[in-house]
Amino acid sequence: MECIVINGGRPLQGLVAASGAKNSALAVMAATLLCSGEHRISGVPELCDISTMKRLLEHLGVRITGSADLRLDATHIDIVDAPYELVKTMRASFLVLGPLLARFGNARVSLPGGCAIGLRPVDIHIKALEAMGAHISIENGYVNAFCERMRGARILFDMPTVGGTENIMMAACLADGVTVIENAAREPEIIDLAAALRSAGALITGDGTGTITIEGVRQLAPIVHTVMPDRIEAGTLLIAGAITEGDVTVENCPVAYMGATLEKLRDIGCIIDESENCARIRADRGLKPVEVTTSPYPGFPTDMQAQLMSLLTLAGGTSLIRETIFENRFIHVAELDRMGARIRVERDCAVVTGVEQLEGARVMASDLRASASLILAGLAARGTTVVSRIYHLDRGYEALEEKLRRLGADIRREQE
């Protein structure tokens, strides 16, 4: 297994570009199942979750060429079965259910099961597909779904689920009549998926608001789309600048979608200059503690919680971080504490008391964003930090250590 070794304490400086958004690219790739022909998706990041989605689509019969500029020909779909081996590796695989069902009238997709950060059920996806006329049974850990033809429906989500909104939005594109999703997720990746679907002729309005309306069409054309930049990767790179008291400019930075993150970083005392697609961060010691609550967009993203926590371990005072999206997303706390942080968890709240200095240590990554938080802590720590189980990082960050090295970090990958 590989690990990442960091000799901390070097201020990062310079320019770095964010890659295409993983969570947007995964949904747009799943959407190619909606119609035959060659789809073209640009700006796709090269990372493990994208490879897993490629493997799943190829398993179904999609022919794929290219990497950053993908060509996906979904003309000949051989099977409509997403196996456990692939879905358990990556939950976003469940996004093939809506498109397969809408185009072929049946699908068999493994239930994803639990996940390190929480239970993450898919009941809302299933209830909504049933409201659209699908007959669904769960057998041997698989969702078996069939439907002569999906029909439009008015759907009220119990909570604004990102994946649920994407699955239903895709299915509704080929349904008879109009579907209205209320309490829909408003995340930028939903807007990006809607743009991709519109490029194929889908009739969608309201994306980016809590009410999305989709008028079904008989057929779609191939998608032509460039994936939006990754707001979570951009935020992670900005914190890398801040935590090392550096001066980092992130290009291809979707600042318009990063309001809550940028505002929190400013509250902490970072200086941020922003333009349309670029943000520069500067920070020195004298960081201030803050209170943060994760919530659905436009609130503070759960996917930035762990990284912000690393920064707050060095603030002068006590910060409170409340996690409301996932019930087990504080696994990084024990590892940060091994590096000298002072954090205690009380139910859904982490109480972070700032310390003068973090110390390098051997730590273990438990999920994607936890890995990023440990790398950030390692960049600021005195001495050497070794982050193991780095495959979590590789799932969702494109060449992170290379980008950090170019900014001046002493970071390398080694075999354990």
Nearest to 254 by CA among 20, 16, 13: 20
Whether 35 is catalytic: no
For residues 49 and 330, what is the distance between their CA atoms, to the nearest angstrom? 22
Two tokens at 247? 């001066």
Residue 122 or 212 with smaller CB distance to ligand EPZ: 122
In 61-212, where does DSSP find H-type helix? 84-89, 97-104, 123-131, 162-173, 188-199
Q: How far is the CB of 326 from ligand EPZ (least distance, A)?
A: 6
Is 244 among the residues that bind ligand EPZ (CB under 6 A)? no
Catalytic residue among 115, 147, 278, 349: 115
Residue 124 main-chain phi, psi, to 5 deg: -70, -40
How many CB atoms lie under 10 A from the CB of residue 75? 12
Q: How far is the CB of 269 from ligand EPZ (least distance, A)?
A: 26
Among 161, 213, 366, 371, binds ligand EPZ (CB under 6 A): 161
Instruction: Show the site string, 284-323: x = touches ligand EPZ by CB under 6 A, - = not.
Output: ------------------xx--------------------
Is 394 among the residues that bind ligand EPZ (CB under 6 A)? no
Q: Are 114 and 77 in contact (CB under 8 A)?
A: no
Could you give the 3-state DSSP secondary structure of residue 239?
helix
Instruction: Show the site string, 11-40: x = touches ligand EPZ by CB under 6 A, - = not.
Output: ------------x--x--------------
Is 167 among the residues that bind ligand EPZ (CB under 6 A)? no
Two tokens at 201? 């002729």
Q: How many residues bind ligand EPZ (CB under 6 A)?
A: 25
Is 369 among the residues that bind ligand EPZ (CB under 6 A)? yes
Question: Which of 66-74, 97-105, 112-120, 211-219 is the region at the interface with ligand EPZ (rule: CB under 6 A)?
Answer: 112-120
Question: Which of 162-170, 190-198, 201-209, 310-318 is the region at the interface with ligand EPZ (rule: CB under 6 A)?
Answer: 162-170
Question: Which of 35-43, 69-77, 160-168, 379-387 is the region at the interface with ligand EPZ (rule: CB under 6 A)?
Answer: 160-168
By CB atoms closer than 10 A (0-12, 13-18, 19+), residue 383 is middle
- Amino acid of residue 389: R
Residue 161 or 319 with smaller CB distance to ligand EPZ: 161
Among 142, 257, 300, 326, binds ligand EPZ (CB under 6 A): 326
Distance of CA 132 to the CA centre of its chain: 27
For residues 8 and 289, what is the distance between their CA atoms, to the nearest angstrom? 22
Q: Are 180 and 211 in contact (CB under 8 A)?
A: yes
Among 34, 145, 325, 374, binds ligand EPZ (CB under 6 A): 325
Question: Which of 61-69, 118-126, 131-139, 339-347 is the region at the interface with ligand EPZ (rule: CB under 6 A)?
Answer: 118-126
CA atoms within 13 A on the CB side of 200: 31
Among 29, 34, 80, 124, binds ligand EPZ (CB under 6 A): 124
Among 15, 79, 138, 159, binds ligand EPZ (CB under 6 A): 159
For residues 97 and 339, what is the distance between their CA atoms, to the nearest angstrom? 42
Two tokens at 402? 């290379």
Is 162 among the residues that bind ligand EPZ (CB under 6 A)? yes
Determine the angle formed by the axes of helices 368-380 and 305-312, rounding to 10 degrees: 20
Is 141 among the residues that bind ligand EPZ (CB under 6 A)? no
Residue 19 or 23 with smaller CB distance to ligand EPZ: 23
Nearest to 127 by CA among 98, 102, 105: 98
Radius of gyration, alpha carbons of the chain: 21
Which chain residues interact with ligand EPZ by CB under 6 A? 23, 26, 91-92, 118-125, 159, 161-164, 185, 302-303, 325-326, 368-369, 396
Which residues are known catalytic residues?
Answer: 115
